[in-house]
Copies of this chain bind each other. A is one copy, B any other.
Protein backbone atom coordinates (compact mmCIF):
# COMPACT_ATOMS: atom_id res chain seq x y z
CA UNK A 1 0.00 0.00 0.00
CA UNK A 2 1.28 3.41 -0.97
CA UNK A 3 0.91 5.98 1.81
CA UNK A 4 1.68 5.65 5.51
CA UNK A 5 -1.38 7.25 7.09
CA UNK A 6 -4.06 5.80 9.33
CA UNK A 7 -5.90 4.19 6.42
CA UNK A 8 -2.85 2.04 5.68
CA UNK A 9 -2.44 1.33 9.40
CA UNK A 10 -5.99 0.02 9.64
CA UNK A 11 -5.72 -1.85 6.34
CA UNK A 12 -2.68 -3.70 7.66
CA UNK A 13 -4.60 -4.50 10.84
CA UNK A 14 -7.39 -5.99 8.70
CA UNK A 15 -4.90 -7.91 6.58
CA UNK A 16 -3.31 -9.79 9.49
CA UNK A 17 -6.16 -12.33 9.89
CA UNK A 18 -6.35 -12.69 6.11
CA UNK A 19 -2.75 -13.90 6.15
CA UNK A 20 -1.64 -11.06 3.89
CA UNK A 21 2.00 -9.97 3.79
CA UNK A 22 1.63 -6.22 3.79
CA UNK A 23 4.30 -3.91 2.37
CA UNK A 24 4.19 -0.16 2.87
CA UNK A 25 5.60 2.85 1.04
CA UNK A 26 5.77 5.60 3.63
CA UNK A 27 7.18 9.12 3.50
CA UNK A 28 8.89 8.55 6.85
CA UNK A 29 9.50 5.69 9.31
CA UNK A 30 7.41 7.51 11.95
CA UNK A 31 4.13 7.67 10.06
CA UNK A 32 1.00 6.08 11.47
CA UNK A 33 1.16 2.86 9.44
CA UNK A 34 4.94 2.61 9.43
CA UNK A 35 4.86 2.13 13.22
CA UNK A 36 3.02 -1.19 12.94
CA UNK A 37 4.11 -2.79 9.63
CA UNK A 38 7.08 -5.12 9.23
CA UNK A 39 8.03 -4.35 5.65
CA UNK A 40 8.35 -0.58 5.16
CA UNK A 41 10.00 1.23 2.24
CA UNK A 42 10.65 4.87 3.10
CA UNK A 43 10.37 7.09 0.05
CA UNK A 44 8.47 9.65 -1.97
CA UNK A 45 5.30 8.43 -3.70
CA UNK A 46 5.75 11.14 -6.33
CA UNK A 47 9.00 9.57 -7.55
CA UNK A 48 8.60 6.90 -10.23
CA UNK A 49 11.85 5.09 -9.44
CA UNK A 50 10.82 4.85 -5.78
CA UNK A 51 7.48 3.41 -6.85
CA UNK A 52 9.24 0.90 -9.14
CA UNK A 53 11.55 -0.21 -6.34
CA UNK A 54 8.60 -0.51 -3.96
CA UNK A 55 6.62 -2.57 -6.46
CA UNK A 56 9.24 -5.32 -6.61
CA UNK A 57 7.84 -8.40 -4.95
CA UNK A 58 4.31 -6.99 -4.64
CA UNK A 59 1.42 -8.99 -6.08
CA UNK A 60 -0.68 -5.85 -6.29
CA UNK A 61 -0.35 -2.18 -5.39
CA UNK A 62 -3.08 -0.12 -3.77
CA UNK A 63 -3.30 3.26 -2.05
CA UNK A 64 -4.09 5.07 1.17
CA UNK A 65 -4.46 8.40 -0.68
CA UNK A 66 -4.97 9.81 -4.18
CA UNK A 67 -1.69 11.68 -4.52
CA UNK A 68 0.37 9.36 -6.71
CA UNK A 69 0.67 11.04 -10.14
CA UNK A 70 -1.61 9.37 -12.67
CA UNK A 71 1.23 9.13 -15.23
CA UNK A 72 3.36 7.15 -12.76
CA UNK A 73 0.52 4.69 -12.28
CA UNK A 74 0.20 4.31 -16.04
CA UNK A 75 3.95 3.69 -16.28
CA UNK A 76 3.81 1.00 -13.57
CA UNK A 77 0.83 -0.64 -15.23
CA UNK A 78 2.62 -0.61 -18.60
CA UNK A 79 5.53 -2.40 -16.90
CA UNK A 80 3.19 -5.16 -15.72
CA UNK A 81 2.58 -4.09 -12.11
CA UNK A 82 -1.04 -4.74 -11.07
CA UNK A 83 -2.32 -1.35 -9.82
CA UNK A 84 -5.73 -1.44 -8.11
CA UNK A 85 -7.68 0.70 -8.52
CA UNK A 86 -6.03 1.28 -11.89
CA UNK A 87 -5.15 4.75 -13.16
CA UNK A 88 -8.14 4.90 -15.52
CA UNK A 89 -10.45 4.53 -12.52
CA UNK A 90 -8.38 6.40 -9.94
CA UNK A 91 -8.12 9.54 -12.04
CA UNK A 92 -11.79 10.17 -11.19
CA UNK A 93 -10.85 10.40 -7.50
CA UNK A 94 -7.80 12.52 -8.29
CA UNK A 95 -9.28 15.08 -10.65
CA UNK A 96 -12.67 16.60 -9.83
CA UNK A 97 -13.06 17.89 -13.39
CA UNK A 98 -12.61 14.42 -14.86
CA UNK A 99 -14.96 13.04 -12.19
CA UNK A 100 -17.77 15.49 -12.95
CA UNK A 101 -17.46 14.86 -16.71
CA UNK A 102 -17.64 11.10 -16.17
CA UNK A 103 -20.68 11.33 -13.90
CA UNK A 104 -22.43 13.50 -16.53
CA UNK A 105 -21.60 10.91 -19.17
CA UNK A 106 -22.98 7.96 -17.20
CA UNK A 107 -26.07 9.85 -16.06
CA UNK A 108 -25.32 10.24 -12.34
CA UNK A 109 -26.57 13.51 -10.84
CA UNK A 110 -24.06 16.09 -9.58
CA UNK A 111 -24.42 19.69 -8.43
CA UNK A 112 -24.46 22.11 -11.41
CA UNK A 113 -20.81 22.66 -12.32
CA UNK A 114 -18.24 23.69 -14.90
CA UNK A 115 -14.55 24.47 -15.16
CA UNK A 116 -14.03 28.24 -14.78
CA UNK A 117 -11.13 30.31 -16.04
CA UNK A 118 -11.06 33.45 -13.88
CA UNK A 119 -13.16 35.42 -11.36
CA UNK A 120 -15.26 37.01 -14.11
CA UNK A 121 -16.06 33.53 -15.40
CA UNK A 122 -17.17 32.57 -11.87
CA UNK A 123 -19.64 35.48 -11.94
CA UNK A 124 -20.95 34.23 -15.32
CA UNK A 125 -21.27 30.68 -13.87
CA UNK A 126 -23.19 32.10 -10.89
CA UNK A 127 -25.51 34.09 -13.13
CA UNK A 128 -26.26 31.03 -15.29
CA UNK A 129 -27.85 29.34 -12.25
CA UNK A 130 -29.41 32.42 -10.66
CA UNK A 131 -33.08 32.20 -9.78
CA UNK A 132 -32.96 35.76 -8.41
CA UNK A 133 -29.97 37.87 -7.40
CA UNK A 134 -26.47 37.23 -8.82
CA UNK A 135 -26.35 33.45 -8.22
CA UNK A 136 -23.64 33.68 -5.54
CA UNK A 137 -22.51 31.94 -3.30
CA UNK A 138 -20.59 29.51 -5.50
CA UNK A 139 -18.32 26.65 -4.44
CA UNK A 140 -14.86 26.67 -6.05
CA UNK A 141 -12.53 23.67 -5.94
CA UNK A 142 -9.06 23.06 -7.28
CA UNK A 143 -9.51 19.99 -9.48
CA UNK A 144 -6.57 18.20 -7.82
CA UNK A 145 -5.03 17.95 -4.37
CA UNK A 146 -7.86 18.91 -2.02
CA UNK A 147 -9.03 16.92 1.00
CA UNK A 148 -10.75 17.54 4.34
CA UNK A 149 -11.97 20.95 3.23
CA UNK A 150 -8.58 22.02 1.82
CA UNK A 151 -8.73 23.20 -1.80
CA UNK A 152 -12.40 24.18 -1.39
CA UNK A 153 -13.77 27.72 -1.10
CA UNK A 154 -17.29 29.06 -0.72
CA UNK A 155 -17.19 32.46 -2.40
CA UNK A 156 -19.84 35.16 -2.09
CA UNK A 157 -18.73 37.57 -4.81
CA UNK A 158 -16.25 38.05 -7.66
CA UNK A 159 -13.59 39.62 -5.40
CA UNK A 160 -13.70 36.55 -3.16
CA UNK A 161 -13.25 34.30 -6.20
CA UNK A 162 -9.67 35.41 -6.82
CA UNK A 163 -7.79 33.17 -4.37
CA UNK A 164 -8.47 29.71 -5.86
CA UNK A 165 -6.90 30.83 -9.16
CA UNK A 166 -3.61 31.84 -7.53
CA UNK A 167 -2.21 28.30 -7.54
CA UNK A 168 -2.42 28.25 -11.35
CA UNK A 169 -4.32 24.93 -11.48
CA UNK A 170 -7.74 24.41 -13.08
CA UNK A 171 -10.69 25.44 -10.93
CA UNK A 172 -14.12 23.81 -10.86
CA UNK A 173 -17.17 25.89 -9.99
CA UNK A 174 -20.19 24.21 -8.43
CA UNK A 175 -23.55 25.42 -7.22
CA UNK A 176 -23.78 25.63 -3.45
CA UNK A 177 -26.34 22.89 -2.83
CA UNK A 178 -29.07 23.57 -0.29
CA UNK A 179 -28.76 20.12 1.23
CA UNK A 180 -30.73 18.64 4.10
CA UNK A 181 -27.80 16.43 5.08
CA UNK A 182 -24.84 14.49 3.72
CA UNK A 183 -24.91 10.74 3.11
CA UNK A 184 -22.24 8.28 2.04
CA UNK A 185 -22.83 5.14 -0.04
CA UNK A 186 -19.89 2.73 -0.11
CA UNK A 187 -19.37 -0.29 -2.30
CA UNK A 188 -16.48 -2.66 -2.86
CA UNK A 189 -15.81 -4.16 -6.27
CA UNK A 190 -13.45 -6.92 -7.39
CA UNK A 191 -11.54 -7.22 -10.66
CA UNK A 192 -13.85 -10.08 -11.64
CA UNK A 193 -16.88 -7.82 -11.08
CA UNK A 194 -18.26 -9.02 -7.73
CA UNK A 195 -19.57 -6.09 -5.70
CA UNK A 196 -21.06 -5.54 -2.25
CA UNK A 197 -22.86 -2.45 -0.97
CA UNK A 198 -22.62 -1.28 2.64
CA UNK A 199 -25.60 0.27 4.42
CA UNK A 200 -25.93 3.97 3.51
CA UNK A 201 -24.73 6.21 6.32
CA UNK A 202 -25.26 9.80 7.38
CA UNK A 203 -22.11 11.86 7.63
CA UNK A 204 -21.96 15.04 9.69
CA UNK A 205 -19.19 17.45 8.73
CA UNK A 206 -17.80 20.20 10.94
CA UNK A 207 -15.64 22.88 9.25
CA UNK A 208 -15.34 20.69 6.15
CA UNK A 209 -14.03 17.70 8.13
CA UNK A 210 -15.97 14.51 8.81
CA UNK A 211 -17.05 14.54 12.45
CA UNK A 212 -19.78 11.94 13.01
CA UNK A 213 -21.03 8.98 10.95
CA UNK A 214 -24.32 7.26 11.80
CA UNK A 215 -24.97 3.79 10.35
CA UNK A 216 -27.49 3.32 8.93
CA UNK A 217 -28.60 6.87 8.04
CA UNK A 218 -31.62 7.62 10.27
CA UNK A 219 -35.02 8.18 8.67
CA UNK A 220 -33.81 7.19 5.22
CA UNK A 221 -36.47 5.35 3.26
CA UNK A 222 -35.62 1.96 1.81
CA UNK A 223 -36.17 3.40 -1.68
CA UNK A 224 -33.78 6.31 -1.14
CA UNK A 225 -31.16 4.00 0.41
CA UNK A 226 -31.44 1.60 -2.53
CA UNK A 227 -31.14 4.54 -4.95
CA UNK A 228 -27.90 5.64 -3.24
CA UNK A 229 -26.51 2.11 -3.35
CA UNK A 230 -27.45 1.78 -7.02
CA UNK A 231 -25.66 5.06 -7.79
CA UNK A 232 -22.50 3.81 -6.06
CA UNK A 233 -22.65 0.41 -7.77
CA UNK A 234 -23.17 2.09 -11.16
CA UNK A 235 -20.21 4.43 -10.61
CA UNK A 236 -17.99 1.52 -9.53
CA UNK A 237 -18.95 -0.54 -12.58
CA UNK A 238 -18.87 2.26 -15.16
CA UNK A 239 -15.56 3.70 -13.95
CA UNK A 240 -14.00 0.24 -13.51
CA UNK A 241 -13.24 0.71 -9.81
CA UNK A 242 -11.39 -2.04 -7.94
CA UNK A 243 -11.52 -1.90 -4.15
CA UNK A 244 -13.52 0.35 -1.85
CA UNK A 245 -15.43 3.26 -3.38
CA UNK A 246 -17.01 5.85 -1.11
CA UNK A 247 -19.58 8.12 -2.75
CA UNK A 248 -20.29 11.24 -0.72
CA UNK A 249 -23.79 12.46 -1.45
CA UNK A 250 -25.92 15.52 -0.77
CA UNK A 251 -29.53 14.76 0.09
CA UNK A 252 -31.27 17.95 -1.04
CA UNK A 253 -34.26 19.49 0.70
CA UNK A 254 -36.34 18.71 -2.38
CA UNK A 255 -35.47 15.00 -2.18
CA UNK A 256 -32.70 14.50 -4.73
CA UNK A 257 -29.34 12.73 -4.30
CA UNK A 258 -26.34 14.52 -5.82
CA UNK A 259 -22.77 13.21 -5.82
CA UNK A 260 -20.36 15.46 -3.92
CA UNK A 261 -17.05 13.55 -3.93
CA UNK A 262 -15.62 10.11 -4.74
CA UNK A 263 -12.86 8.26 -2.86
CA UNK A 264 -11.35 5.03 -4.18
CA UNK A 265 -9.80 3.66 -0.99
CA UNK A 266 -10.98 3.02 2.56
CA UNK A 267 -12.75 6.19 3.70
CA UNK A 268 -13.56 7.95 6.95
CA UNK A 269 -17.29 7.38 6.31
CA UNK A 270 -16.58 3.63 6.50
CA UNK A 271 -14.64 3.44 9.78
CA UNK A 272 -17.84 2.35 11.56
CA UNK A 273 -17.57 -0.98 9.69
CA UNK A 274 -14.60 -2.06 11.86
CA UNK A 275 -16.89 -2.63 14.82
CA UNK A 276 -20.29 -2.36 13.18
CA UNK A 277 -20.26 -4.56 10.06
CA UNK A 278 -19.65 -8.26 9.46
CA UNK A 279 -16.70 -7.36 7.20
CA UNK A 280 -14.85 -4.06 7.58
CA UNK A 281 -14.18 -1.74 4.65
CA UNK A 282 -10.46 -2.39 5.17
CA UNK A 283 -10.81 -6.18 4.93
CA UNK A 284 -13.05 -5.90 1.89
CA UNK A 285 -10.73 -3.43 0.18
CA UNK A 286 -7.90 -5.95 0.54
CA UNK A 287 -10.12 -8.83 -0.57
CA UNK A 288 -11.11 -6.82 -3.64
CA UNK A 289 -7.65 -5.69 -4.73
CA UNK A 290 -6.38 -9.27 -4.28
CA UNK A 291 -9.41 -10.61 -6.20
CA UNK A 292 -10.57 -12.71 -3.24
CA UNK A 293 -14.31 -13.28 -2.75
CA UNK A 294 -15.85 -10.38 -0.83
CA UNK A 295 -17.16 -10.50 2.72
CA UNK A 296 -20.69 -9.72 3.86
CA UNK A 297 -21.22 -5.95 4.30
CA UNK A 298 -24.23 -6.08 6.64
CA UNK A 299 -24.47 -4.31 9.98
CA UNK A 300 -23.99 -6.26 13.23
CA UNK A 301 -26.02 -3.90 15.42
CA UNK A 302 -29.15 -1.78 14.83
CA UNK A 303 -27.06 1.41 15.19
CA UNK A 304 -23.34 2.09 14.98
CA UNK A 305 -21.84 5.55 15.43
CA UNK A 306 -18.31 6.70 14.63
CA UNK A 307 -16.94 10.03 15.84
CA UNK A 308 -13.52 11.31 14.87
CA UNK A 309 -11.10 12.25 17.62
CA UNK A 310 -9.34 15.49 16.78
CA UNK A 311 -6.32 16.75 18.60
CA UNK A 312 -7.08 19.42 21.19
CA UNK A 313 -4.97 21.77 23.24
CA UNK A 314 -3.47 19.02 25.42
CA UNK A 315 -0.71 17.06 23.68
CA UNK A 316 -0.86 14.26 26.26
CA UNK A 317 -4.14 12.43 25.76
CA UNK A 318 -3.27 9.55 28.11
CA UNK A 319 -5.35 10.46 31.15
CA UNK A 320 -8.37 11.18 28.94
CA UNK A 321 -7.81 7.81 27.25
CA UNK A 322 -7.90 6.06 30.65
CA UNK A 323 -11.02 7.97 31.66
CA UNK A 324 -12.92 7.04 28.49
CA UNK A 325 -12.04 3.35 28.78
CA UNK A 326 -13.08 3.27 32.41
CA UNK A 327 -16.31 5.21 31.85
CA UNK A 328 -17.55 3.07 28.95
CA UNK A 329 -16.19 -0.50 28.81
CA UNK A 330 -18.10 -1.06 25.55
CA UNK A 331 -16.41 1.87 23.81
CA UNK A 332 -14.13 0.98 20.87
CA UNK A 333 -11.18 3.35 20.58
CA UNK A 334 -8.98 3.45 17.47
CA UNK A 335 -5.82 5.50 17.83
CA UNK A 336 -3.52 6.29 14.91
CA UNK A 337 -0.20 6.67 16.75
CA UNK A 338 0.03 10.34 15.77
CA UNK A 339 1.34 13.24 17.79
CA UNK A 340 -1.55 15.37 19.00
CA UNK A 341 -1.89 18.72 17.22
CA UNK A 342 -4.97 20.93 17.44
CA UNK A 343 -7.52 19.90 14.81
CA UNK A 344 -5.54 16.90 13.55
CA UNK A 345 -7.37 13.58 13.19
CA UNK A 346 -5.60 11.38 15.73
CA UNK A 347 -8.16 8.59 16.12
CA UNK A 348 -11.81 7.72 16.20
CA UNK A 349 -14.25 6.00 18.52
CA UNK A 350 -17.19 3.75 17.71
CA UNK A 351 -20.18 2.69 19.74
CA UNK A 352 -23.08 0.44 18.83
CA UNK A 353 -26.38 -0.64 20.28
CA UNK A 354 -30.14 -0.61 20.02
CA UNK A 355 -30.87 3.00 21.01
CA UNK A 356 -29.49 5.63 18.64
CA UNK A 357 -29.56 8.56 21.03
CA UNK A 358 -27.67 6.61 23.70
CA UNK A 359 -25.15 5.29 21.15
CA UNK A 360 -24.62 8.80 19.76
CA UNK A 361 -24.21 10.33 23.22
CA UNK A 362 -21.57 7.79 24.23
CA UNK A 363 -19.49 8.29 21.09
CA UNK A 364 -19.72 12.09 21.19
CA UNK A 365 -18.86 12.18 24.88
CA UNK A 366 -15.77 10.02 24.40
CA UNK A 367 -14.53 11.95 21.36
CA UNK A 368 -15.13 15.26 23.13
CA UNK A 369 -13.39 14.07 26.26
CA UNK A 370 -10.38 12.84 24.30
CA UNK A 371 -10.17 16.18 22.52
CA UNK A 372 -10.54 18.09 25.75
CA UNK A 373 -13.76 19.94 24.88
CA UNK A 374 -15.67 17.93 27.52
CA UNK A 375 -14.07 17.70 30.93
CA UNK A 376 -16.67 15.93 33.02
Contact = CB atoms under 8 A, between A and B. Distances in A.
Given A34-B38, A38-B37, A295 B329 contact: yes
Given A35-B38, A38-B36, A38-B37, A337 B19 contact: yes
A40 B37 CA distance: 11
Interface in A1-39: 9-10, 12-13, 16-19, 21-22, 34-38
Interface in A327-376: 329-330, 332-337, 347
Interface stretch (A216-224, A262-270, A286-294): A286-294
A17 B334 contact: yes
B18 A333 contact: yes
Given A10-B16, A19-B347, A278-B330, A325 B292 contact: yes
A322 interface: yes
Interface in A187-205: 196
Interface string A289-324: 000111110001000000000000000000001100
A274 B21 CA distance: 20
Contact of A326 (B21, B196, B274, B293): B293
A37 B278 CA distance: 25
Given A329-B295, A330-B296, A36 B12 contact: yes
A113 to B, nearest CB: 38
Contact of A293 (B16, B18, B38, B325): B325
Given A38-B37, A287-B325, A329-B293, A13 B21 contact: no
Contacts of A337: 19, 21
Contact of A17 (B17, B18, B330, B333): B333
A201 to B, nearest CB: 20
Contacts of A321: 19, 292
A279 interface: yes
A316 to B, nearest CB: 13
A322 B295 CA distance: 11
A296 B329 contact: yes
Contacts of A296: 329-330
Nearest to A331: B295
A56 to B, nearest CB: 18
A301 to B, nearest CB: 8
A335 B334 CA distance: 23
Contacts of A334: 17
A361 to B, nearest CB: 17
Contact of A19 (B34, B293, B335): B335
Nearest to A300: B300
Contacts of A18: 333, 335
Contacts of A326: 293
Nearest to A24: B38
Nearest to A334: B17
A296 B353 CA distance: 14
Contact of A335 (B17, B274, B332): B17
Nearest to A279: B329
18 contacts: A10-B17, A13-B16, A17-B332, A17-B333, A17-B335, A18-B333, A18-B335, A19-B321, A19-B347, A21-B35, A35-B38, A38-B38, A278-B329, A278-B330, A292-B321, A292-B322, A295-B329, A295-B330
5 tightest Cβ-Cβ pairs between the two chains A and B? A19-B335, A293-B326, A293-B325, A296-B329, A17-B334
